[in-house]
Structure 1
Amino acid sequence: MSLIADLAEPAPTPGTAILRRQRVRESAARTYARSFPIVPVRAHGMTVEGADGRRYLDCLSGAGTLALGHNHPVVLAAIRRTLDSGAPLHLLDLATAEKDDFTTALLESLPAEFAARARVHFCGPAGTDAVEAALKLMQTATGRRGTLAFTGAYHGMTAGALAVTGNVAVKEPLPSGGEVTRLPYPYSYRCPFGLGGPAGERLAAVYTERLLDDPSGGVVRPAAMILEAVQGEGGAVPAPDGWLREMRRITAERGIPLIVDEVQTGVGRTGAMWAVQHSGIVPDAMVLSKAIGGSLPLAVVVYREEYDGWRPGAHTGTFRGNTLAMAAGAATLRYVAEHRLADRAEQVGRFLVRELTALQTRLPVIGEVRGRGLMIGVELVDAAAELDACGARPADPALGLRVREACLERGLIVELGGRHDAVLRLLPPLTISDEQAGAVVERLAEAVEAASEPR
């Protein structure tokens, strides 16, 4: 090969070679690897360093898994302590000191009224398996089969969880996963009734109640209702507290168990330890994963003891006994509580929402900024289009892709979500500093401005 050719085609770096092998070896279902073509080699707190030496502020945090950020000292100490102790790392569902400690920490963190009469079931180490377990549990307890779920919902990718998920694109190629009645979630910016605000919220509750009571409504009394207090993949859409209280009243009066999916909202993310605490509702079951494992795989269902009608082996999983995750998770739960990181999430979240909302005046492609705590969505729209009945413009997914890329160029990792993949989702760690929060706003503003310039 000539010297000119050598200069024109520099040798690939270790990072580019790894990325090339990943494209060849791994499945076409890759997601984040497509969005962020980087090879992380080190990470601490909110900072990720790539193989190319570049540093990024991580506003993805393992899709909300890293409550304390990457490699937090308290997590690393818990893992090292467990490894050095010689504790067995895998024991199915046998009792261990680590499991006992985690269960204690978990129950102490939950709302007292719920925890006082709760049972904990350890699942396979992913939120979707915990959703499957919760659905099976309520089917067993009630002898019924149907489920009430909501527009915009995301509960996982296995059959039952996918059936109650709202995203049509991932459901279309597959057979039905069961009888699901889809109800309207109160998404004010794109209200399903074209009203928005308190009027849309009230109508969503009235519709649900009337449908369930209509003898010709087509809905057989279901085994459960499942919902998210803040829809994550659905676009960081918080449920109004009043609407949540109505869902609890409606289900309680009709003997329908209420399952709240706190996989992404839990462990301080929304400004409370658990998102249900904002509304004060007490569900019949909570599905927990992500941050409860302190960055390692762990998932559980916590439910009221009267539903504990399972026979031994009714829902099992080989990796439901992850000792390291239990140790890391217990340390994380206690650290978040002791250092009041839920309050910190509320404080920084208010700052981010305020600053990002202020950008709308000079960046009209920002349709809405919303969220709760450090679970924030920035919806990108076509600024030249007409407003709809709720005052919203059409989503602009192409702009979303450009903004995500522009963010990465500026050292900011932000993923997309929402109905049309046009919502920038911010999920920074609860340990984010004031300086980092300011940098997120600055880099995001620069990225939106650059990506929305005429092409």
Structure 2
Amino acid sequence: MTVPPSIVPPVALPAQATAATTTADGILRRQRARESSARTYARSFPIVPVRASGMTVEGTDGRRYLDCLSGAGTLALGHNHPVTLEAVRRTMDSGAPLHVLDLATPEKDDFTDALFATLPGGFADRARVHFCGPAGTDAVEAALKLTQTATGRSGLLAFTGAYHGMTAGALGVTGSVAVKERVAGGGAEVTRLPYPYAYRCPFGVGGDRGAGLAATYTERLLDDPAGGVVPPAAMIVEVVQGEGGAVPAPDDWLRTMRRLTSERGVPLIVDEVQTGVGRTGAFWAVEHSGITPDVLVLSKAIGGGLPMAVIVYDEKYDGWLPGAHTGTFRGNTLAMAAGAATLRFVSAEGLSERAAVVGARMTARLDSLRADLPAIGDVRGRGLMIGVELVDPEAPSDACGARPADAELAVRVRAACLDRGLIVELGGRFDATVRLLPPLTITDEQAEAVVDRLADAIATVSKDAAQGRQA
């Protein structure tokens, strides 16, 4: 398989400051010397972007990359989309205050109108919105505090494989052991429930049966007087686990979680920080199952590429006192303007439906490569939220037919993708899942190029690995 030449035509990109001519090596060296050891993406991608347009990122050396990271799903329209740029410029030129805490502004009012217009009808009719600090993790904290305040309870139900953020409460409901084990109290008052993961089923059976067992286990546990679960303040769940490896929840299972929580008076929080704004093929991922949550946690794409986070919740839970959840940067006027423009553009242009079509095509093509590329253990996802789990093809399979994850192979594939002009990131339980989060504006030609480059990277790295084992 050969790598196709770049299919991205030359585009008119904004002029850069002369600092952009500084060598990438020098900038990266200074970053290593001055930034914390907790930096992440900078370790995986030794490039220095200076220009970006749509799905294309250009480095200091003039090399271009197809960006399948999209700011971890933040850039629904890609980089520097004309719709968001025009909204930002118009707002700046208007003289509007750019920072007003939580005061009412025309831009905030307009964003709220745009947001509520996208919500499922039954939810929007009784919804309240709270503007949080600019990161999704703060919105998770707000959702947890809201339900704890409303119920007078403290315990929480969360799932294996979950990712909800890095602040204290959000970290508590996050599943990753590595990021929690060094933090005191990182799992306090959280009951961990099994998330249905067909390829690595926690019950060793997979498929619909595994999802059914996960639901049954949850129901029996909650009703067991000796199960150790005190009535909780909330259940928090992702419709598709993002950092967990693009693992989608079956619609029937999600409907069961809604029934279980409703019957027991437990508020249901759905974290749509990464799945929202068309990413999964519906404007909000809950629409696939038809459930109505009590709280939606929203961030990333809702700000049009600028920092913003909110929770939207049923008004019956609005029992907060003034200042119960506050923060300095709740009033990002530019993000509200860019976000409103993005929400309306995604709706008007049918980009949710486009994500469903293109995502299904990419997923099907990737899945068809498994016969020729046995290092591809599983291909999954929903819409343009796709995961390709890489495995050791020579290791024995487990009861579900899954081979051991190969994290080392995945790291090499990520580097090989970058060499081919493709930016992808890893995730999943063992950091062995290649995650694809392209912008909703991806063209058919770009979608083909992404699959071609990824397939070529996997084939090349797998061949090298096999030769290394034989040597």
The TM-score normalised by the length of structure 1 is: 0.97
Q: Tell me the amino acid that sits aligned with residue 71 of structure 1.
A: N
User: Secondary structure of 2:328's match?
Assistant: coil
Q: Match for residue 444 of structure 1?
A: 454
**Structure 2: stretches of 5+ with no match in the other structure:** 1-20
CA distance in 1 between counterparts of 2:375 and 2:317 reads: 48
Q: Which residue of 2 aligns with 1:405?
A: 415
* 1:63 equivalent in alignment to 2:88: no
Matched, 1:317 2:327: yes
Q: How does 1:180-329 map to 2 (within 5 A)?
A: 180-329=190-339
Corresponding residue of 2:11: none
Question: In the aligned structure 2, how far is the partner of 1:117 from the partner of 1:192?
Answer: 37
1:410-449 alignment to 2 at 5 Å?
A: 410-449=420-459
**More moved, 328-337 vs 350-359:** 350-359
The Cα of 1:60 is off from its aligned counterpart by 0.2
Q: Report the equivalent of 2:16.
A: none
| CA distance in 2 between partners of 1:319 and 1:108 (Å) | 24
- Residue 125 of structure 1 aligns with which residue? 134
- Number of residues paired by the alignment? 444
Tell me the SS of whatever aligns to 1:452: helix
Instruction: List per-residue Cα deviations over 1:117-158 (Å, max 9, x = no partner).
Output: 000000000000000000000000000000000000000000
1:176 aligns with: 185
1:25 paired residue number: 34
1:4 corresponds to which residue?
Answer: none
What residue in structure 1 maps to residue 13 of structure 2?
none
Q: Structure 1: which 5+ residue stretches go unaligned?
A: 1-11
The equivalent position to 1:142 in structure 2, one of 151, 159, 168, is: 151
Q: How far apart, CA to CA, are the structure 1 residues paired with 2:322 and 2:140?
A: 19
Task: Measure, in 1, the Cα distance between the counterparts of 2:461 and 2:414.
Answer: 9
Q: Partner of 2:363 in structure 1?
A: 353
Other structure's SS at 2:360 match: helix
Is 1:50 matched up with 2:59?
A: yes
Provide runs of 4+ in structure 1 moved above 4 Å. Answer: none
TM-score (structure 2 length as normaliser): 0.94
Residue 349 of structure 1: how far off its partner (Å): 0.3
Distance 2:282 2:122 in 1: 16
Q: How far apart, in 2, do the equivalents of 1:109 and 1:77 lie?
A: 22
Query: How many angstroms apart in 2 are the aligned matches of 1:24 and 1:110?
Result: 45
How far is 1:13 from its partner? 5.4
Amino acid across the alignment from 1:134: A
Within 1, Cα distance between the matches of 2:92 and 2:168?
36
Give CA deviations for 1:388-428 in whole Å, capped at 9, x if unaligned. Answer: 00010000000000000000000000000000000000000
Residue 458 of structure 2 aligns with an amino acid whose one-letter code is V
Distance in 1 (CA, whole Å) between partners of 2:426 and 2:59 is: 21
How far, CA to CA, are the matches of 1:95 and 1:14 in structure 2?
A: 45
Distance in 2 of aligned mates of 1:298 and 1:428: 20
Map of 1:107-122 to 2, 5 A cutoff? 107-122=116-131
Q: How big is the shift at 1:15? A: 1.5
Confirm whether residue 390 of structure 1 aligns to residue 400 of structure 2: yes
> What is the rounded CA distance, in whole Å, between the counterparts of 1:90 and 1:412 in structure 2?
37
Give 2:215's aligned amino acid: A
Give me the whole-angstrom Cα distance separating, in 1, the residues matched to 2:94 and 2:35: 36
**SS of alignment partner, residue 330 of structure 2:** coil
CA distance in 1: counterparts of 2:369 and 2:55, whole angstroms: 24
Cα deviation, residue 176, structure 1: 1.3
Which residue identity lines up with residue 154 of structure 2 in the other structure? R
1:190 shift after superposition: 0.2
Percent of pairs identical after alignment? 76
Matched, 1:100 2:109: yes
Structure 2 counterpart SS, 1:378:
strand
Indicate the SS of the match to 1:319: helix
Q: CA deviation at 1:315?
A: 0.3
The answer for the alignment partner of 1:84 in structure 2 is 93
1:170 counterpart SS class: coil
Question: SS state of the match for residue 178, structure 2?
Answer: helix
CA shift at 1:358, angstroms? 1.1
